[in-house]
Amino acid sequence: MGLPQPRVLFFMRSLKDSFSAYIRYRCLVQSKYSLHSPFIYRFWAGILKDKTKYPAYTRAEGFRKALLNDKNTINRVDFGAGSNEPGPGAGAIKVRDLARHSLISAAEGRFLYKLVKELKPSSILEFGTSLGLSALYMAEAAPDAQIITMEGCPETAALARQAFKKAGIKNVTVITGTFDEKLGEALGLMPKPGLVFFDGNHRSEPTLKYLEQCKPYLSAASVAVFDDIHWSGEMEEAWKFIIAQPFVKVSIDLFHLGVIYFREELSKEDFVLRF
């Protein structure tokens, strides 16, 4: 795909550091011929290399386009590290500017769609709603799943709720509040989440703390996805710590995203795949 255009990465690290991180990643990328695990080969062939143009992609990108054209202003409050929004973490911002700097890329959205479509989870937990595009992709892939997404900024959360309603998405619940305040509530509202998407705080300590808090609720069939694992040296160290844990059986480094599986029957292996 060439050098990706990250939403956040280059604003946290210098261009030189970011380029170096990407080069290190590309040097470690494994080809399909080295994927001897049938499980990981199915992941590579069935998810990463699936080029099907699902109708959901068009609907989701229409959702993005509408946000990018929205000239209304909201009062944005940012509770987590990693904001790529212009100016300070709190203040007035046009919706289109927030969308331009915070929405997941189309490639990441399609990946989430295909992953959820493959997993068929009955419940999904998301850290960081933003304007709702990632939740929309997941809801399109699993219309019968219970999806709970947490957003700290009240006006952003309200905007996401309105967008879901307009799009006819009925299986997404937006909880407003910080992760520290609301994670326990969110976990209490669902059975063991089949997928947890960590996309709201890009610091090591909170990321590890939230994973630890989620761990008792995860089953062997659960999957966790982490956004921006190479966003900073701190996040890279957090990723290394996570994948070294005994309860993590398979890890997959996709540069912007990291995926971990907990299935007991899998051998403990770490993979670096081209996204």
| DSSP-assigned letters across all residues of 120-133 | --SEEEEE--TTSH
Question: What's the full length of the chain, in residues?
Answer: 275
CB distance 251 to 270 below 8 Å: yes
- Same structural domain, 61 and 36: no
Task: Please tell me the distance from the alpha carbon of residue 224 to that of residue 154, in angstroms, as a whole number.
Answer: 26
Which among 100, 128, 163 is the end of a domain?
Answer: 100
Pick 30 or 83 by higher pLDDT. Answer: 30
Pick 275 or 195 by higher pLDDT. Answer: 195
CB distance 153 to 79 below 8 Å: yes
- Same structural domain, 46 and 179: yes
Q: Which one, of 197, 211, 230, 157, lies nearest residue 8 by Cα?
A: 230
Q: Which residues pair with 127 in a beta bridge?
A: 150, 198
Q: What is the pLDDT of residues 8-24, one digit of tens each?
A: 443 456 677 888 999 99
- Same structural domain, 37 and 109: yes
Q: Is residue 3 part of a domain?
A: no
Residue bearing tokens 């994948």: 243
CB distance 199 to 126 below 8 Å: yes
Q: What is the mean pLDDT of the chain?
A: 90
Side chain identity at residue 50, one-letter code: D
Q: Is the pTM of this model over 0.85?
A: yes
Q: Is residue 4 part of a domain?
A: no
Which residue range(s) make up the domain with 242?
11-50+105-272
Residue 227 burial by CB count (10 A; 0-12/13-18/19+): exposed, middle or buried?
A: buried
CB distance 220 to 262 below 8 Å: yes
| pLDDT band at residue 80 using 50, 70 and 90 as cut-offs | low
Q: Is residue 80 part of a domain?
A: yes
- Same structural domain, 193 and 86: no
- Same structural domain, 133 and 18: yes
- Same structural domain, 243 and 205: yes
| pLDDT band at residue 169 using 50, 70 and 90 as cut-offs | very high
- Same structural domain, 227 and 174: yes
- Same structural domain, 95 and 30: no
CB distance 71 to 95 below 8 Å: yes
CB distance 108 to 102 below 8 Å: no
Task: Please tell me the distance from the alpha carbon of residue 268 to that of residue 262, in angstroms, as a whole number.
Answer: 9
Task: Please tell me the distance from the alpha carbon of residue 152 to that of residue 33, in angstroms, as a whole number.
Answer: 44
Q: Is the pLDDT of residue 79 over 90?
A: no
CB distance 118 to 54 below 8 Å: no
Q: Is the pLDDT of residue 2 over 60?
A: no
* Total number of domains constituting the chain: 2
Residue 77 DSSP SS3: strand
Q: Is residue 1 part of a domain?
A: no
* pLDDT at 87 (0 to 100): 38
Q: Is residue 86 part of a domain?
A: yes
Q: Is the pLDDT of residue 81 over 80?
A: no
CATH number, residue 141: 3.40.50.150
Residue 180: what are its φ and ψ, rounded to 5°? -60, -35
Q: What is the mean pLDDT of residues 60-71?
A: 96
Q: Which residues pair with 73 in a beta bridge?
A: 94
Q: What is the mean pLDDT of residues 63-85?
A: 79
